[in-house]
Amino acid sequence: MKIFTRCTLFALLLYLGGIAHAATGVGSLQSCLDMNDKEPPEKTLDCYNQTAQELLTKKHPKSFRIARDRGIAEEWVPSDEPIRVYKQNYFLIYSHSSQPNNAPNSPNPNNQVPYTYTLDKNEVKFQISLKAHLMGENRHAVWFGYTQLSFWQAYDREHSSPFRENDYEPELIYSYRPNGLALAGVTASFLNFGLVHQSNGQALPKSRNWNRFYFQPGMERDFGEYGKLALLPRWWQILGGDSPEDDNPDIIEQMGRGELELRYYYRQGVLSSISRIHSLQLDLALPAPRLLGVLIQNANFHLQFFSGNGESLMDYNHRHRSYGFGISMPFE
């Protein structure tokens, strides 16, 4: 029984810290093993627990728990890291649409896409979103952000599994972090001003794009052991985009003049929502199952639901529902 206990604890440490990290913690583990039959069982167990926590911290320096404890203001603190996480990064291995947009349209007659074939309702959806610090220190900083949202008809082998759309969204962001500004328990964590261009990079008649200037405050409320709520409203002003010759002249009517993002952090999970005038997206990220966690470090199991129009830029005026599951990387 004693040998079994030692082997089990050692295997647990390997899982938590990874083989490489476990190798660096051999000294601590050996100290715990040497305590057997020499120290009280409670003291020996405390030694194992402490060693496991050390290895877990080394392997997962940016877990959800740490992100929640630090607060969203830390997402905009300049650092030596050349690239940082921006928006959600996820890979949905399965995403199902209630009604694919087989013939995208626009009030501009040059942007009417003729019907070619029926799209597969099942596809792969993923988003990559990163940012880089350009200049500024302390409470003022300028960032470059880049987000790419892709829809891949991976299961449609009859048509060679094409990407039906890629939306590219570069932006320039000025971020200001106030010092200790709070009211009624709500902390103002940052104020962002941005210039953003979004395009699907397509030629006529599939071309869709728009340019915006936006303002976004970041606020949060800490509920202690009951988690933390972050509120990130964003209001934008479209730049141009009101000419009949534009690819999508009615986009402001369909997408609205802003959005509200909410994130609720609880223990090691995050429930988030993004709502606009005609759409709602819900995302739930939970710690990945053990096997997945071993294969992909710091990954989370991800569920997503979308209802409305504007899931993609091509579908800015197309209403449908979709749901999917996959993996995601945590926020900062």
**pLDDT tens, residue by residue, 283-298:** 999 987 665 555 566 7
166 backbone dihedrals φ, ψ, rounded to 5°: -130, 125
Query: Would you say residue 330 has pLDDT above 90?
Result: no
Structural contact between residues 144 and 170, judged by C-beta atoms closer than 8 angstroms: yes
User: Is the pLDDT confidence value at 158 over 90?
Assistant: yes
pLDDT over 80 (residue 38)? no
pLDDT beyond 60 at 235: yes
Tell me how far apart the alpha carbons of residues 131 and 89 are, in angstroms, rounded to a whole number. Answer: 12
* 115-142 average pLDDT score: 95
User: What's the pLDDT score for residue 64?
Assistant: 40
For residues 319 and 58, the model is more confident at 319
CA distance 141 to 137: 6
- pLDDT at position 29 is 59
At residue 65, the pLDDT reads: 40
Residue 56's pLDDT is what? 44
pLDDT band at 240 (very low <50, low <70, confident <90, very high): confident
CA distance 124 to 94: 5
**pLDDT tens digits, residue range 73-90?**
999 999 888 899 999 999
| Percent of the chain residues past pLDDT 90, beyond the cut | 64
pLDDT of residue 88: 94
Side-chain-side CA neighbours of 110 within 13 Å: the count stands at 10
Please tell me the distance from the alpha carbon of residue 108 to that of residue 72, in angstroms, as a whole number.
41
* 3-class DSSP string for the chain: CHHHHHHHHHHHHHHHHHHHHHHHCHHHHHHHHHCCCCCCHHHHHHHHHHHHHHHHHHHCCCCHHHHHHHCHHHHHCCCCCCCEECCCEEEEEEEEECCCCCCCCCCCHHHCCCCCCCCCCEEEEEEEEEEEEEECCCCEEEEEEEEEEEEECCCCHHHCCCEEEEEEEEEEEEEECCCCCEECCEEEEEEEEEEEEEECCCCCCCCCEEEEEEEEEEEEEECHHHCEEEEEEEEEEECCCCCCCCCCCCHHHHHCCEEEEEEEEECCEEEEEEEECCEEEEEEEEECCHHHHHHCCCCEEEEEEEEEECCCCCCCCCEEEEEEEEEEECCC
Residue range 219-236: mean pLDDT, rounded: 95
Confidence (pLDDT) at 288:
76
Evaluate whether 141 touches 154 at the Cβ level (below 8 Å).
Answer: no
Name the residue with higher pLDDT: 6 or 174: 174
Model confidence band, residue 67 (pLDDT cutoffs 50, 70, 90): very low
Write out pLDDT tens, residues 165-210: 999 999 999 999 998 787 878 999 999 999 999 999 999 999 999 9
**Which pLDDT belongs to residue 58?**
47
